[in-house]
Amino acid sequence: MIENRFRHGLREGRLQVGLWCTIPGGFVAEALAGAGYDWLLFDTEHSPGDPLTVLPQLQAAAAYPVAAVVRPASNDPVLIKRFLDLGAQTLLIPYVQNEAEANLAARAMLYPPHGFRGVSALTRATRFGRIPGYYQNAADELCLIVQVETREAMERLEAIAAVEGVGALFIGPGDLAASLGHGGEPGHANVKAAVLSGIQRSVKAGKPVGLLTGDVGFAAECVAAGAAYVAIGVDVGLLTRGAESLLANFKARVAASAS
């Protein structure tokens, strides 16, 4: 079996720092795979990505010591099956509201009799039929993360965490902010307090928990509260803000030289 770096990192209790990838295709993924992050999230919920664009991202990342996490567009067993067959080992399922939805995702990850994942022997996940015993052992190297990102989900956090097959929780500050009445303000004091409380409750429940935030100070605060993994930036954000900063810096220098 191919080792799931992310799952093993959670089990070892190592802090894993990641980066969100929303630019489709393998070229940017390969450039970022060598940047030193522990994990990269290939997103298809809030990006143009789909299974055909995630495939080259997985292929690019495979050559580097970085874990690949994939977020399907929804809690859809068909999408879950497709990404698993492509070789994704860790999936982040968005907008899980309760135990039933968490259980649906968990069962979609597993072959019968424990779940209902469809069977194909000639997938990238099986190295095209070259991994003996894949059917029997695949679950040992898979990891399911479910997003708790609304008021309702946060109220049911412990119950969701207790669902068999859920490997970790993920708190989404952006959607949580909207759910709490602070849309567009993930840095609002009430939102931060809710996130920190969710982290502490997850730790108490014995479930690893993480989040995405571009506020590195808050990310460090979340780690201190017990977060096992954090993503601290988004590829397109780094590109656009970096480009804007470069231009502004250059214009300021030109203006200073002319004065």
Residues 6+ away with beta carbon under 8 Å from 182: 188, 190, 191
Buried b (16+ CB within 10 A) or exposed e, 31-57: ebbeeebbbbbbbbeebebeeebbbeb
Q: Determine contact, residues 86/58, Cβ cutoff 8 Å.
A: yes
Give the separation between CA 84 and CA 131, rounded to whole angstroms.
15
| Residues classed as catalytic | 46
* Inter-residue contact 235 to 246 (CB < 8 Å): no
**Contact between 148 and 96 (Cβ < 8 Å):** yes
**Dihedral over alpha carbons 113, 117, 119, 122 (to 10 degrees):** -140
* Dist. CA 214–CA 246, nearest whole Å: 19
